Amino acid sequence: MSDGMLRQDWYLRDRIEEWIDTQARTMQVSRRRVLEIFAGTSVGALLAACAPAGTPAPTPTVPAPTTGGAAGRPTAVPTTSVDNPHVKPTPDDLFINHGVNREMRWERMAGRGYTTPNELFFIRDHTKTPVIDPASWRLTIKGSGVEREVQLTLDDLQRLPQTTVTKYVECAGNGRSFFESIGGRRASGTSWKLGAIGVAEFRGPRLRDVLDRAGLKRTARDVMPEGLDDQRVRRPMPIEKATDGDTLIALQMNGQPLPHDHGFPARVLVPGWIGVASIKWVGSIEVSETPLVSPWNTDSYVLIGPDYRPEPPAKGPVLSTQNVKSALELPWPAQLRAGQQTIRGRAWSGVGKITRVEYSFDGRNWQQATLGAGPNDYGQWVQFEFPWTAQPGQYELRLRAADDKGNVQPPTVPFNEQGYLYNGIVGHPVTVA
């Protein structure tokens, strides 16, 4: 897989240059004048101004009190509400409650296998979980990049060749709380520690096979899935990433039908990229021969701060791939008994294999942990462990992971207003008694 396929900032820079040129020709003004006109315009207004006439309204969500069971029989499911925004149980002993979002407690992964069970998988919702009737649900493929518009049913997708990949989904804001607790500056958004990630076995048709049902053109450039949640979250990606063999329309998760909170009846899976790219509850996919933008790669999910320059129409560098991180399978803070301990955790990268995990008790002297023998590639995590003869006292246990692309967790991370991609070295508080 080429770096260009993975890096949306490179792709978007090229697309924005093309967009500016197109606007200049259409308006019969200079490129500089285009930038002046749109410099103070919100992205929402910009997109509305540039949308073709007759752009259809989004397909509405279809709530229903039942979904198909394992044998095709209706089974009752709970509805969601402001007080109960999710379908699956999210008790405090399994999750950290962040309002509409739920963070996995890392200690619940201790002693478990490679994947995250569905009942422990973190939840990142922009509003609340929509409950969709699979019988009336349709996936619409449309746009100038396909020969014809088509609507596919769930049965249509299930009849296509199915692919299984084991990859993680991780929120771009994972680690956001450390901008404040370590850097002293609070970023906006959910104050995740490191539990906004989970690895699952996803199964479904490749996105490229789905797009081929509409006659994918060789001139197609951008692909933008759109969700059926209240905000209609949507985000474009280059055709190269959309047609990569690991990019799926996921219908199953860990051998079960995709849970409601994780995108039922279908979600996009974009391995290695930030979680918002893996659109849940997908209802339509636009394929275009020209650049596509949305508020989710121009206003949000971009880096805004003193160390980052705007890249119009985006307010800053656009996020795509995830960076290298690591975490311990311990409570925060942790309490351990004195004596011989085996400390375990997991490390991951969005662009390559983890090659090394080091640990330190003082931030100066580092020792190497032992990596597990399980899967270890981009968009996956690797398990690790190390022994510790724990003496009574207070400790801050630090980790530093590296991947085969030369990425290493840094001591600090420059602040950005929306708190994305924090992967600096963190001291995990541990009390030994």
What does the pLDDT look like over 275-334, one tens digit per residue?
999 999 999 999 999 999 999 999 999 999 999 999 988 999 999 999 999 999 999 999
Whose CA is closest to 258, among 237, 280, 228, 236? 280
Predicted confidence at residue 45, as pLDDT, reads 45
- The CA distances from residue 390 to 185, 340, 381, 386, 432, in Å, are 33, 6, 27, 12, 7
How many CB atoms are located within 10 Å of the residue 65 CB? Answer: 11
Number of helices (H), then strands (E), in the chain: 8, 24
Q: Measure the CA–CA gap between 258 and 269, rounded to whole angstroms.
A: 12
All structural domains of the chain with their residue ranges: 3-54+124-162+205-297, 325-432
- The CA distances from residue 420 to 218, 282, 305, 312, 320, in Å, are 34, 24, 11, 19, 11
Q: By the 8 A CB rule, do 276 and 282 touch?
A: no
Please give the backbone phi and psi of residue 106, each rounded to the nearest 5 degrees, phi first. -60, -30
Whose CA is closest to 293, among 256, 318, 262? 318
Q: What is the mean pLDDT of residues 204-216?
A: 98
| DSSP at 59 | P
CATH domain 325-432 topology: Immunoglobulin-like (2.60.40)
Q: Say which residue, 44 or 170, is predicted with more confidence.
A: 170
Confidence check: pLDDT of 219 > 70: yes
Q: By the 8 A CB rule, do 425 and 325 touch?
A: no
Predicted confidence at residue 80, as pLDDT, reads 62
- The CA distances from residue 175 to 171, 302, 422, 423, in Å, are 9, 16, 5, 7
Which value, in Å, is the radius of gyration of the alpha carbons in the chain?
22
> ∠129-174-333 over CA atoms, to 5°?
110
Residue 225 token pair? 């899935």
Q: Measure the CA–CA gap between 171 and 319, rounded to whole angstroms.
A: 11
For residue range 140-162, list pLDDT tens digits in order.
999 999 999 999 999 999 999 99
Residue 147 token pair? 């020969």
Predicted confidence at residue 178, as pLDDT, reads 98
Predicted confidence at residue 25, as pLDDT, reads 72
Confidence check: pLDDT of 262 > 70: yes
**Domain spanning 3-54+124-162+205-297: CATH superfamily:** Oxidoreductase, molybdopterin-binding domain (3.90.420.10)
Predicted confidence at residue 6, as pLDDT, reads 45
Predicted confidence at residue 62, as pLDDT, reads 36
Per-residue pLDDT band for 17 (boundaries 50, 70, 90) equals: low
CA-CA-CA-CA torsion sign (188, 189, 194, 199): negative
Is it true that the peptide bond before 265 is cis, omega within 30 degrees of 0? Answer: yes
H or E segment at 371? strand 370-371
Confidence check: pLDDT of 126 > 70: yes
Q: What is the mean pLDDT of residues 19-48?
A: 62
Q: What is the mean pLDDT of residues 92-109?
A: 97
Mean pLDDT of the chain: 88
Whose CA is closest to 325, among 423, 234, 421? 423
Least confident range of 75-89, 205-219, 238-252, 377-391 = 75-89
Chain-centre distance for alpha carbon 149: 28
Predicted confidence at residue 30, as pLDDT, reads 78
Least confident range of 42-46, 84-88, 199-203 = 42-46
Predicted confidence at residue 71, as pLDDT, reads 34
Predicted confidence at residue 14, as pLDDT, reads 62
Rounded to two decimals, what is the model's pTM? 0.85
Q: What is the mean pLDDT of residues 384-413?
A: 97
Whose CA is closest to 380, among 167, 175, 234, 189? 167
Per-residue pLDDT band for 211 (boundaries 50, 70, 90) equals: very high
Q: Measure the CA–CA gap between 186 and 179, rounded to whole angstroms.
A: 6
Confidence check: pLDDT of 64 > 70: no
Q: Measure the CA–CA gap between 179 and 146, rounded to whole angstroms.
A: 43
Whose CA is closest to 67, among 159, 156, 132? 132
Whose CA is closest to 85, among 125, 40, 36? 125
Tokens 């490179």 found at: 10
